[in-house]
Chains A and B, each alone.
Chain A
Amino acid sequence: MTKNKKWYDYLWILSAAYMVLGFVNIMSAWLGLICFLVPVLISAVKGNKSYCSRYCGRGQLFDLLGSRFNLSRRKDIPAFLRSKWFRYGFLLFFMAMFANMIFMTYLVFRGAGSLKEVVTLLWAIRMPWDWAYGGGAAAHWAAHWAAQFAFGFYSLMLTSTTLGLITMAMYKPRSWCVYCPMGTMTQGICRLKDAA
Chain B
Amino acid sequence: MASIVNSKKIAKVMEKECVGCGSCTKSCPRSAIDVPKGICAVVDSASCVGCGLCQKACPASVIEIKARALEGGGEAA
Contact = CB atoms under 8 A, between A and B. Distances in A.
Interface of A: 1-3, 43, 47-50, 52-54, 59, 63, 74, 76-77, 82, 87, 171-178, 180, 183-184, 186-187, 189-191, 193-194
A58 to B, nearest CB: 11
B25 A53 contact: yes
A177 B35 CA distance: 14
Nearest to B58: A172
A1 B29 contact: yes
B36 interface: yes
Nearest to B40: A187
Interface in B54-77: 56-62
B19 A82 contact: yes
Interface residues of B, number: 22
Contacts of B38: 43, 47-50, 186-187, 189-190, 193-194
Contacts, number: 86
Given A1-B29, A82-B17, A194-B37, A53 B59 contact: no
B54 to A, nearest CB: 12
A43 B23 CA distance: 17
A180 B26 CA distance: 18
A152 B74 CA distance: 58
A172 B59 contact: yes
B46 interface: no
B20 interface: yes
26 contacts: A49-B20, A49-B21, A49-B38, A50-B38, A52-B20, A59-B21, A76-B61, A82-B19, A87-B19, A172-B58, A173-B59, A174-B21, A174-B23, A174-B59, A176-B59, A177-B19, A177-B23, A178-B19, A178-B21, A180-B21, A186-B38, A187-B19, A190-B20, A190-B38, A193-B38, A194-B38
A178 to B, nearest CB: 5
A53 B30 contact: no
A184 B39 CA distance: 10
Given A53-B26, A77-B61, A178-B21, 6 more contacts: A48-B35, A53-B25, A53-B35, A54-B22, A82-B60, A87-B19
